[in-house]
């Protein structure tokens, strides 16, 4: 751009109107007047006590004492929380302010501080709402109220300062309302311990949902795998008797999957009932029967007492067994599967071994089941290893028992 263009280009002017609109915008917001009402309403009690106590100072002292007593009442936190949540703009979280009564003296003390700060700021704003407009009115020749004789009596001199009291009142109202909103969360909100407890509860909820997703994957995946293999075998066999047996196996497996699905949906509807109705290793025989019906030759050996296992270990071991059999059927087909359960004083060990046919092809989504097995084992402090060797696939899971027995689970 040359010099001529620079000279002829229109100059950008400052936009004081934009700053003025920003400054007066709070006047058009209902939040400003809500905060002002929140500060003014606290003066109702001292206004009544003035006639009893015989003066402003005794009334304020009596009000402060009454608020300290009110702060010790647990339900007062809920009452103040309902009002404090109105101090926040719509759509902004108030940090769960005052959602429940005070649970201890720590919360009661914070509530007392909140009530006293509200009294001090509310009284100050109330006096400013009375005296600052009075000072502005003086500039127009009004009579000087008693006690303000020290002010200049010259109208011309005071007229130049007439807007200042109103501006000061405007700033005081906005500032005091913002201070109360800023103090609401630390004084009426949850304590650090409560926030930690809420975070832990949320984490437990997410972990539970993840576990339910794994259970649906294991149960529905097993049922679909058995149904696909049975249907394919029945179509290839062309035998009516075999088809009837295959349909019976599909029906039984589907019914079990529907039971699992209904239980999981029940847990989602009623949190806290996660372990209700979850099968353990005592019901593992139906998994073996389902795999045998799909054509696999399943041999089972148990070393130890399965009925002595802690509930969490037995339930997770059932799902691991289900996933192991599903993976064997899905990736290797109806092949012989060896299952060994070993229980001792320290751990439960699950061993699954099956041959891998040369033309075995992985199904879509391969790897998800093994990752779920490792996650299940890790939750209980155990481990899961899997791999192919000498044409055979072996999955080994070890779940420790000592820690669970010590905690009484």
* Pair type for strands 298-303 and 337-343: parallel
Contact 275, 267 (CB under 8 A): no
Q: Which residue has the higher pLDDT, 249 or 129?
A: 129
**pLDDT score for 267:** 59
Residue carrying the six token digits 């097993």: 222
Binned at pLDDT 50, 70 and 90, residue 232 comes out as confident
Give the number of C-alpha atoms closer than 13 A to the C-alpha of residue 91, restricted to the C-beta side. Answer: 0
Per DSSP, the three-state class of 397 is: strand
What six digits make up the tokens of 185? 């969360």
Task: Read off the pLDDT of residues 299-322 as tens digits, 9 standing for 90 and up.
Answer: 999 998 888 888 888 888 888 898
Identify which has the larger pLDDT, 373 or 409. 373
| Average pLDDT taken over every residue of the chain | 77
Predicted TM-score of the model (pTM): 0.49
The predicted-structure confidence for 4-39, as pLDDT tens digits, reads as follows 444 444 555 545 556 677 778 888 888 889 999 989
339-375 pLDDT per residue, tens: 999 998 889 999 999 988 776 555 444 456 778 788 8
The sign one gets for the Cα dihedral 58, 64, 68, 69 is positive
Residues 6+ apart with CB under 8 A from 128: 168, 169, 172, 173
Report the pLDDT averaged over residues 95-123. Answer: 87
Quote the pLDDT of residue 405: 53
Tally Cβ neighbours within 10 Å of residue 245. Answer: 15
Helix 76-84 / helix 105-138 crossing angle, nearest 10 deg: 40
pLDDT band at residue 175 using 50, 70 and 90 as cut-offs = very high
């Amino acid at each position: 751009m040359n010099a001529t263009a620079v000279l002829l280009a229109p100059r950008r002017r400052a936009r004081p109107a934009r700053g003025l609109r920003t400054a007066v915008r709070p006047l058009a917001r209902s939040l400003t007047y809500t905060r002002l009402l929140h500060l003014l309403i606290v003066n109702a009690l001292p206004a009544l006590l003035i006639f009893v106590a015989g003066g402003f100072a005794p009334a304020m002292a009596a009000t402060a004492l009454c608020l300290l007593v009110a702060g010790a009442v647990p339900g007062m936190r809920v009452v103040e929380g309902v009002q404090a949540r109105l101090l926040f703009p719509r759509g902004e979280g108030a940090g769960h302010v005052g959602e429940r009564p005070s649970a201890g003296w720590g919360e009661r003390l914070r509530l007392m501080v909140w009530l006293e700060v509200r009294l001090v700021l509310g009284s100050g704003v109330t006096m400013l709402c009375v005296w600052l407009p009075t000072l502005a009115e003086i500039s127009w020749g009004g009579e000087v109220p008693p006690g303000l004789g020290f002010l200049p009596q010259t109208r011309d001199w005071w007229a130049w300062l007439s807007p200042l009291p109103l501006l000061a009142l405007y700033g005081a109202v906005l500032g005091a309302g913002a201070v109360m909103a800023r103090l609401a969360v630390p004084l009426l909100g949850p304590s650090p311990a409560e926030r930690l407890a809420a975070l832990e509860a949320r984490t437990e909820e997410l972990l539970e949902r993840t576990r339910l997703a794994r259970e649906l994957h294991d149960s529905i995946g097993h049922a679909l795998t058995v149904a696909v293999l049975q249907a394919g075998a029945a179509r290839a066999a062309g035998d009516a008797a075999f088809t009837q047996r295959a349909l019976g196996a599909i029906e039984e497996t589907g019914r079990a999957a529907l039971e699992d699905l209904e239980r999981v949906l029940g847990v989602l509807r009623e949190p806290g009932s996660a372990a209700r109705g979850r099968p353990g290793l005592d019901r593992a025989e139906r998994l073996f029967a389902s795999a045998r019906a799909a054509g696999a030759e399943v041999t089972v050996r148990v070393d130890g007492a399965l009925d002595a296992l802690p509930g969490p270990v037995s339930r997770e071991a059932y799902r691991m067994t289900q996933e192991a059999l599903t993976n064997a059927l899905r990736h290797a087909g109806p092949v012989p599967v060896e299952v060994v359960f070993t229980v001792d004083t320290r751990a439960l060990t699950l061993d699954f071994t099956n041959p891998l046919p040369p033309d075995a092809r992985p199904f879509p989504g391969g790897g998800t089941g093994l990752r779920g097995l490792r996650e299940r084992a890790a939750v209980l402090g155990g481990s899961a290893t899997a791999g192919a060797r000498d044409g055979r696939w072996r999955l080994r899971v070890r779940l420790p028992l000592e820690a669970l027995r010590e905690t009484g689970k």
